[in-house]
Amino acid sequence: MTNKAFRGLFLCAVLGALLFRVVRLDVRPMHHDEANQAVKFGDLLERGEYRFDPGDHHGPSLYYFTLPAARAAGARSLAELSETTLRMVPALFGAGLLLLFLPLAGGLSREATLAAAALAAVSPAMTYYSRFYIQEILLVFFLAGLIAAGWKYARTRSGGWALAAGVSAGLMYATKETSVILFAATAAALGLVLLMDGPRARRERAVAVEDARALRNAPARLRTALHAALFLAAGAVTAVLFYTSFFQNLPGLADSVRAIGASFNRAGHPGFHAHPWYYYVQTLAYSKTAGGPVWSEAFLLFLAAAGGIAAFGHDGGKDENPRFLRFILFFTIITAVFFSLIAYKTPWNVLPFYFGLVVLAGNGVGLLLRISRSKLIKILILAALVPGLVNLAVQGYRANFTAHSDPANPYVYAQTSPDFLKLVGTVEKIAAGALEKKDLLIKVIAPPEETWPLPWYLRKFSRVGYWTSAEAAGTIGDAALVIASVDNLGKAATALGDGYTSNFYGLRPEVVLTLFVRRDLWDGYFQDRQKISGR
């Protein structure tokens, strides 16, 4: 393949990735996790302050990388933010992930790199969570950066790549505390590669012999030690900067260590998030509900299996390296097994080892093309692969643009229902017709898990209060609007009496909220609707 053809095809993959990720970012209601992250970012945006919370939040990198996006959009407060502005950050990281396949040259052939890029561009899992304002796709991006920089360092022994690897590792830790699992998996995969392949490589390959001689050279050993120190220092400095809020919150670093313990504690008490060990495999391999379409990335899994088998083949010379592919295979298996054994599961946790599957699947395509002797057979193989790629793209479109909130979509998880937006729309229209406008008094009576994403959708209202019970709320009859959970419905209805009218709205599957509207406001709203419909 010529350089021109490779560049053109790779550019097409990147453009496809951008289309899937940045178009209509506001089409899906805000998930409660997204809303929580958005409000947390609002504190940083408005006051320039951020304090890491080890109890119920992940790392700070997402917020700091959102700052330039918010400022570029002209937002200076939470009220001025939009779903598109926030989601653009993970969307760009998700598309940028494809660029990190390029430094893997020498570990992957050009054909494998293009195939991996094409699969990542349209993958339902990759695209769906690239449109989520949560930390996961950033974690995968920095993981890919660590692997790419580590691979380049292994080939060049350059201090610059050691520095890049350290910064990537630091950003992983600054993104999510579960990065420690990925660090352990990386070390274990490297150990397995060395254990399996080291002695044989020194016997069979002249390059390995030169490496062995270099290792006996004192200056080379010193240089390696300095590079290791540079890697560790870069990672540590990066983590310290983010967790201490750039030295504004020094206890933040210690809190980051405590967050690891809190994360493992959640893993041991999964509650609603408990799922069987095969949850991730089932999510990717086959999912179907009654009357719904089939969701499956079995095509990618098949190619990944082929690419994994190919990792135990002979050295491909300058185009690919079985050692690198074995590392990816071991890393993928280790992380998949570890996350599968943890009872606490959410579908986006598939992404770290899904990245490995994509790389292996690209290698699987490379294998099929490499074993084909004639150009005609290569063309036939490519023609046979196209329907599989198209099928993934169709599922990706469906996941993101038509079934983005449908529980039948395996990537949807406790997603906010579109019905909830009707509640928000009603509140907005009632406020527009009231004298107080956005100063309307709104009281929300619901436990925290049934409150989000209300704080995001009510961010432009100046008088909103939140209580976990009707007793804690005290007098609620002075509010223009009251939003109550099912558990608080009876007491709220009794306290408000006939002076309010009520309507029910779905928040997410099996969670319902009740909107109480003061009768004079409701009558005015209803009359306005009649006038509009009469026109």
Place of tokens 């994360």: 263
Q: Tell me how far the alpha carbon of residue 497 is from its chain's centroid.
A: 45
Strand order in the sheet with 481-485: 464-467, 442-445, 481-485, 511-518, 500-508
Q: Which tokens go with 122?
A: 């349209």
Biggest CA–CA distance in the chain, Å, is: 89
**SS3 category, 175:** helix
Residue 106, judged by CB atoms within 10 A of its CB (0-12, 13-18, 19+), counts as middle
Q: Where is pLDDT greater, at 261 or 174? A: 174
- Identify the architecture of domain 418-534 in CATH: 3-Layer(aba) Sandwich (3.40)
Q: What angle do CA 116, 119, 125 make, to 5 degrees?
A: 125
Reported as a single tens digit per residue, the pLDDT across 510-526 is: 899 999 999 989 887 66
Q: Tell me how far the alpha carbon of residue 55 is from its chain's centroid.
A: 20
**SS3 category, 244:** coil
Reported as a single tens digit per residue, the pLDDT across 388-418 is: 999 999 999 999 999 999 999 999 999 999 9
* Residue 453: cis peptide before it, omega within 30 degrees of 0: yes
pLDDT-derived band at 235, boundaries 50, 70, 90 = very high
pLDDT-derived band at 532, boundaries 50, 70, 90 = very low
On the question of pLDDT at 213 being above 70, the answer is: no
Q: DSSP label at 16? A: H
Q: Distance from first CA to last CA of the chain, Å, rounded?
A: 64
d(CA 499, CA 477) in angstroms, rounded, equals 9
Q: What is the pTM of this model?
A: 0.92
d(CA 31, CA 415) in angstroms, rounded, equals 5
**Sequence ranges of the chain with CATH classification 3.40.190:** 418-534
What pLDDT score was predicted for residue 289?
87
Measured between alpha carbons, how far is residue 534 from residues 37, 184, 288, 422, 425 in Å?
A: 42, 66, 44, 21, 20
Cβ atoms of 235 and 166 closer than 8 Å: yes
On the question of pLDDT at 435 being above 70, the answer is: yes
On the question of pLDDT at 300 being above 90, the answer is: yes
Q: DSSP label at 452? A: T
What's the whole-number average pLDDT of the chain?
A: 90
Q: Where is pLDDT greater, at 526 or 463? A: 463
d(CA 71, CA 85) in angstroms, rounded, equals 10
Reported as a single tens digit per residue, the pLDDT across 27-62 is: 999 999 999 999 999 999 999 888 888 877 789 999
Q: Tell me how far the alpha carbon of residue 402 is from its chain's centroid.
A: 20
Reported as a single tens digit per residue, the pLDDT across 78-133 is: 999 999 999 999 999 999 999 999 999 989 999 999 999 999 999 999 999 999 99
Measured between alpha carbons, how far is residue 49 from residues 38, 45, 65, 456 in Å?
A: 14, 8, 14, 19
What pLDDT score was predicted for residue 290?
79
On the question of pLDDT at 374 being above 90, the answer is: no
What pLDDT score was predicted for residue 196?
82
